[in-house]
Amino acid sequence: MHRAFRAEKQEHWFAGLESALTVFGGLPEEVLMDNPRALVVRHDAVSRPVQFNDKLIPFTKHCG
């Protein structure tokens, strides 16, 4: 199964991630993303801290 979106908007990321979790039938230990602007506000590659978008953390809690 695959899904395509016309843009990389936040709601598209959430819909795609939620669909993937449904198809795979559960939650992975880790989801690796390449700092998409719709989800990551700031990432310092040297010191490593990441500031996520305000809506990402509630979304992850909603997914479990």
How confident is the model at residue 34, as a pLDDT? 85
CA distance 25 to 1: 13
| Three-class DSSP category at 41 | strand
User: Is the pLDDT confidence value at 1 over 80?
Assistant: no
Instruction: Read off the pLDDT of residues 7-57 as tens digits, 9 standing for 90 and up.
Output: 999 999 999 999 999 998 989 888 888 889 999 999 988 998 999 999 998
Question: Cα–Cα distances in Å, from 51 out to 19, 20, 43, 59?
Answer: 25, 24, 6, 15
**Residue 6: what pLDDT?**
93
DSSP result, 16-38: HHHHHHHHHTS--S-------TT
pLDDT of the residue at 44: 87
